[in-house]
Amino acid sequence: MSVEAVRIPTQAGVARAAEKIAAILPPTPLLPFTCREQQVYAKAECLQPIGVFKIRGAWHRLSDLTEEERAAGVVGVSSGNHAQGVAWAARRLGIAAAIVMPADAPQVKLARVRELGAEVVTYDRRTEDRDAISRALAAERDATLVHAFGDAWVIEGQGSTGIELSAQMQALAGGDPTRIITPLGGGGLAAGLALACPDAEIVGVEPEGWDDVARSLATGTIQRVAADAPATACDALQTPATWPVNFAVLNGRISAVTVSEAEVRAAQRFAFAQLRLVLEPGGATALAAALAGKVALDGRTALVLSGGNTDAASFARVLEEAA
Amino acid sequence: MSVEAVRIPTQAGVARAAEKIAAILPPTPLLPFTCREQQVYAKAECLQPIGVFKIRGAWHRLSDLTEEERAAGVVGVSSGNHAQGVAWAARRLGIAAAIVMPADAPQVKLARVRELGAEVVTYDRRTEDRDAISRALAAERDATLVHAFGDAWVIEGQGSTGIELSAQMQALAGGDPTRIITPLGGGGLAAGLALACPDAEIVGVEPEGWDDVARSLATGTIQRVAADAPATACDALQTPATWPVNFAVLNGRISAVTVSEAEVRAAQRFAFAQLRLVLEPGGATALAAALAGKVALDGRTALVLSGGNTDAASFARVLEEAA
């Protein structure tokens, strides 16, 4: 099955996803720390078994497939983190998975997807259209296409982060989160958080030059990243544009800010020294925005540390910049 | 008050410490991962607010002081991690703290103790006796001496790690831990775990050449580290000898193995890549022993990742060794 009517993600769907995920994965910790003299809380999704929150959406999607759909397999499309989520869930459910990944994805991500038993199909990020390739592959195999963010199940699954976070914030700080700051790429996690936590302000954080969602929110229509967008270390956030299923949730509901590459590296160093956590660049943008004073903070502000899949050489260079 | 009768740590004391600590600190996560094709569980004490388990014993000790004792202040003695625990607890309780630290302690540890508001008194690790210096300082001020490991409260407090770990293992793996592998320096944490988990096998892991506890266990009497012990990156485990209050618990109860410096660095890299955690060398010895096949593993084996206070330059060098 390669085409179906677009399902709209719902708050009830997020709640159901959270229950399914709680049954197989312990909650990631919500870690209190001091940022600009304010106690805030970090949701450490980098501590998921695959090092990133993407395990949530992939699990919700794949575990909802019918027996017939499972037998036909799945096709994922991803810069590397969603790929690991799909591969992890597929292996656990005994489903064949093929993942369409950019040939220049971090080696550590390519290797891990293969280790998890998935087939990797590479494409050239500059000249080829990953969505067209993955659609064709899914059609050819009659497999289910599992998009990295433009999918109701994936959005609902990522939203389970907000359900966990709210329960933990209540226990630690006596109330629901007032504000959640999150890395923002295609808008799967941000849309999920918006559905999960209807009373919280949601602030997405994009890398400079990759602010397509910020411009989409400003104009009320989906905008694309410029063809000459600058290089960014945030490979996980290099999405050309958000999708309608995401934008329908995000528009009028969230705000967005940007951070520089240097601010991202400073956040990686802060997480190393103060939280003893490894963050990949794209997983550090929310922390970067908080540290740089780009978002207001209060006593029930949470920020999502969304992933930690980076290679040793890159991380060593980030550390040495300050040493 | 600088002298008192030696109190013996008890299992009931560990239970009481665990309750006190649960009231102020959320549990650190117990993270499942695969080691030598076996699922095992890592207790991530590096995620404590001060980056190390030492916050537990310090809190149990200082919060049990009388009003009069609190007014007179405390003196700690530490290579840097216990120092941060005492400074953290003292600040929270409004107690003046002076910490005796080696002049060559990692800069990051010296700086953090000062940031937490404690007075730092340095000594020369090669020529001066830290216990004599700290006893004299405590006597001069009529302050309470809070030893890094040779103290019943400190042992009981560290033991709360085992209480948390057991509850988490029951939830994740359906039973109590069968074996707990832990870094081993003076024996505060190891003794606490032995009291907390009477049915678990406890395996302590010392750096090569710093195997004084292993030799003490073999001979049944407390042995000292050799005067010409090799250099080790595990500054947190550089204790010349365990103390009688610890050895009384450890002798006949635990076993000990050693790991090489290279095995420790390999474990730091594994934690970086597979767990997205920053470990200091001394916090990585249990993981090193597990990875190197020096301890048997089963489905309810836990290992303690005891601390993550390392500086950027040192960690970058460890990462680059493999890159």
Clarify whether residues A109 and A235 are in a common domain: no
Contact A279 B278 (CB under 8 A): no
Element (H, E) at A145: strand A144-146
pLDDT higher than threshold 50 for residue B265: yes
CATH number of the domain at B99, please. 3.40.50.1100
When scoring B39, B53, B276 by the number of chain A Cβ atoms within 10 A, the one with the most, hence best to mutate, is B276
* Confidence tier at B260 by pLDDT (50, 70, 90): very high
Q: Is the pLDDT of residue B114 over 90?
A: yes
Looking at residue B30, its pLDDT comes to 97
Q: What percent of chain B has pLDDT over 70?
A: 98
pLDDT at position B3? 47
Give residue A268's domain range.
Answer: 11-52+155-321
**Is residue B288 pLDDT above 70, yes or no?**
yes
Q: What is the pLDDT of residue A90?
A: 98
Integer Cα distance of B79 and B82 in angstroms: 7
User: Of the candidates A61, A55, A56, which has an alpha carbon nearest to the alpha carbon of residue A7?
Assistant: A61
- State the pairing for strand pair A38-44/A30-35: antiparallel
Same-domain status, A299 and A238: yes
Neighbouring CB atoms inside 10 A of A317's CB total: 15
CA-wise closest residue to B295 among B161, B188, B200? B200
Q: What are the structure tokens assigned to B317, written together? A: 């060098």
Q: What pTM was computed for the model?
A: 0.95
Q: Count how many domains chain B has.
A: 2
| Residue A32 sits in the same domain as residue A169 | yes
CB atoms within 10 A of CB B236: 31
- For residues B82 and B190, membership in a common domain is answered with no
Q: State residue A4's pLDDT score.
A: 54
Q: In sequence order, what are the beta bridge partners of B301?
A: B179
End-to-end CA distance of chain A: 53
| Minimal Cβ distance to B278: which of A33, A276, A309 | A276
- The mean per-residue pLDDT over the stretch B86-96 comes to 97
Contact B273 A33 (CB under 8 A): no
Q: Please name the member of B28, B269, B316 whose beta carbon is closest to the beta carbon of A319.
A: B316
- Chosen domain end from A114, A146, A178: A146
Provide, as residue numbers in chain A, all residues whose Cβ is less than 8 Å from the Cβ of B44: 47
The band of B297, judged by pLDDT with boundaries at 50, 70 and 90, is: very high
- In this structure, are residues A316 and B319 in contact, taking their beta carbons and an 8 Å threshold? yes
> Residue A93 and residue A87: Cα distance in Å, rounded?
10
Q: Are residues A33 and A161 in the same domain?
A: yes
B172 contacts A26? CB cut-off 8 A: yes
Give this complex's ipTM. 0.94
Identify the pLDDT of residue B4.
Answer: 53
Whether B4 is in a domain gets the answer no
A23 touches chain B (CB under 8 A): no
A198 and A263 belong to one structural domain: yes
A29: which chain B residues are within 8 Å (Cβ-Cβ)?
26, 28-29, 47
B191-229 tens-digit pLDDT: 999 999 999 999 999 999 999 999 999 999 999 999 999
* Structural domain contains residue B5: no
**Domain co-membership, A266 together with A305:** yes
d(CA B105, CA B123): 10
Is A303's Cβ below 8 Å from some Cβ in B?
A: no
Which of the four pLDDT bands, split at 50, 70 and 90, describes residue B323? low
As averages over each run of 10 residues, the pLDDT of chain A (323 residues) reads 71 98 96 96 97 98 98 92 96 96 88 93 90 93 95 98 98 97 98 98 98 98 96 93 97 98 98 98 98 97 97 96 74
What percent of chain B has pLDDT above 90?
91
**Within an 8 Å CB–CB cutoff, is residue A275 touching chain B?**
yes
pLDDT surpasses 50 at B2:
no
By DSSP bridging, strand A144-146 and strand A74-77 are parallel
Residue A205 near residue A182, CB atoms below 8 Å? yes
To the nearest 10 degrees (0 to 180), the angle between helices B107-115 and B81-93 is 10
Size of interface A-B (CB pairs under 8 A): 91
> Are B25 and B97 in the same domain?
no
Contacts of B315 in chain A (CB under 8 A): 272, 316, 319
H-run or E-run covering B76? strand B74-77
Chain B residues in contact with A22 (beta carbon < 8 A): none
Which among A51, A272, A323 has the least Cβ separation from residue B278?
A272
> Exposed/middle/buried for B87, CB within 10 Å: 0-12, 13-18, 19+?
buried
Instruction: Say if residue B259 is exposed, middle or buried (CB neighbours under 10 Å; 0-12, 13-18, 19+).
Output: buried
Eight-class DSSP state of A230: P
- Which of A51, A278, A317 lies closest to B278 in CB terms? A278
Cβ contacts (< 8 Å) between A108 and chain B: which residues? 273
Determine the Cα–Cα distance for residues B109 and B309; give it in Å rounded to an integer: 7
Predicted local confidence at residue A55, as pLDDT: 98
Residue B163: per-residue pLDDT: 98
- Whether residues B44 and B67 share a domain: the answer is no
User: To which H or E segment does residue A267 belong?
Assistant: helix A261-270
Order across the sheet with A38-44: list the strands.
Answer: A30-35, A38-44, A301-305, A179-183, A201-207, A254-259
Structure tokens at B13: 């004391």
- In chain B, which residue's Cα lies nearest the Cα of A169? B26
In chain A, which residues have their Cβ closer than 8 Å to the Cβ of B168?
Answer: 26
Q: Is pLDDT larger for residue B130 or for residue B154?
A: B154
Q: In terms of CA atoms, which chain A residue is nearest residue B313? A: A323
For B272, which residue in chain A has the nearest alpha carbon?
A278
Q: Please list every residue in chain A whose beta carbon sits closer than 8 Å to the beta carbon of residue B46.
A: 276
Q: What is the pLDDT of residue B5?
A: 63
In this complex, the residue of A46, A276, A316 whose CB is nearest that of residue B46 is A276
Q: Please tell me whether residues B229 and B291 are part of one structural domain.
A: yes
Q: What is the pLDDT of residues B240-251, one digit of tens each?
A: 999 999 999 999
